[in-house]
A and B are shown apart, each in its own frame.
Chain A
Amino acid sequence: MRVTNMSEAIRFHFDVDGENFSSAGEASVMVKKKLRQLGFSPDVMRRVSIAMYEGEINMVIHAHGGTADVIVGEDAIEIILADKGPGIPDINKAMQEGFSTASDNIRALGFGAGMGLPNMKKYTDYMQIDTEIGVGTTITMRVNY
C-alpha cells in the first residue's frame, strides 16, 4: 500500500493480486481500517467496504487482478479500480442482479452470486464503468459524506 497525503486529499494505492485468492479483500480491509482511523461514520465505512470489496473481488475472479486507488476528498470518497482483464462485453447484462460468468470453481468458493456490480451501484452515489474488450476495465465510484 502507498499512502500520499496531499493538501486536499489522502490517497491510498493498492496492487490487487490476481493469482491469489487468499489476499482477495485485503485492500478493502485495509481501507476500512484507515477510514475508521479518520473518524468516518459506520454507514460510510459500510458502503465503501461493500463497493470496494465487490470491485476488488471482481478484479481477482474476472480480470487477473489490477489496482485500487482510494481518494478521500473533501466531501466524497472516490474508489478507482483498474484492470487489464478481458473487459465487459455487455454492461447492461453485467449490471443485472444474478448475472454471472463465474466458473463452477469460483462459485464453490462462494463468489459468482451476480450481485457485485448491482451492489456497487446500490451502495455508492456515483459509479462509472469504462471498459474495452481485450484491454481492460476501470470502475470509478464515489461515496458522498
Chain B
Amino acid sequence: MHLSDFSQAVSLKHLCGPTADDFDGVYVGDLLSRAMSHIQAGNLWITIMNNINVVAVASLTEAAAVILAENVSLTPDVFEAANEKGIAIYSSCESAYDLCVSIAKSADEHQ
C-alpha cells in the first residue's frame, strides 16, 4: 500500500522525519504498551498520541510511518526526535476511523 494513494483524500500533511510512501498493514491505537506489542514492521500507525514516546515506539517497532489523526500537532521536542531517529510523521484532519475508511477504499481501488 502507498500513502500517495489516499493522501489527497485525507489531506495528509508531512510534519517531520523522512517522507514515506510504502507501507504494509495498519495499526490504530493510543496505548503505547499495546502499540509496542502489536505494530508490525512496515505498518502504518494511526494515533492521536503526540508525545515524544511515540517516536521511540515507532522506532522500536519499525513502523513505516505515523499518522496523527484529528489534526493533532507536535511539539518541537517531538519534531526534533523524529528527525533524529528518522521517523516519518504525518497529520490529517480526519478521525482514525475516517482515515481507515479512506485507506481501505484506496486499497480496493489499487488492487
A residues engaging B (CB < 8 A)? 21-22, 24-26, 28-29, 32, 42, 46, 49-50, 53-54, 57, 109-111, 113-116, 119, 123
Contacts and interface: CB of A to CB of B under 8 A. Distances in A.
Contact of B56 (A42, A46, A53): A53
Given A110-B30, A110-B49, A110-B51, A119 B56 contact: no
Nearest to B78: A22
Which applies to chain A's interface (DSSP): helix, strand, loop or mixed?
helix
B33 A29 contact: no
A24 B56 contact: yes
Contacts of A49: 36, 60-61
Given A28-B60, A42-B41, A115-B37, 15 more contacts: A22-B52, A24-B52, A29-B60, A32-B59, A49-B36, A50-B37, A50-B60, A109-B51, A110-B31, A111-B33, A113-B31, A115-B31, A115-B34, A116-B33, A119-B36
Contact of A53 (B41, B60, B81): B60
B32 A110 contact: yes
Which applies to chain B's interface (DSSP): helix, strand, loop or mixed?
helix
Given A54-B36, A110-B30, A21 B52 contact: yes
A49 to B, nearest CB: 4
Contacts of A111: 32-33, 53
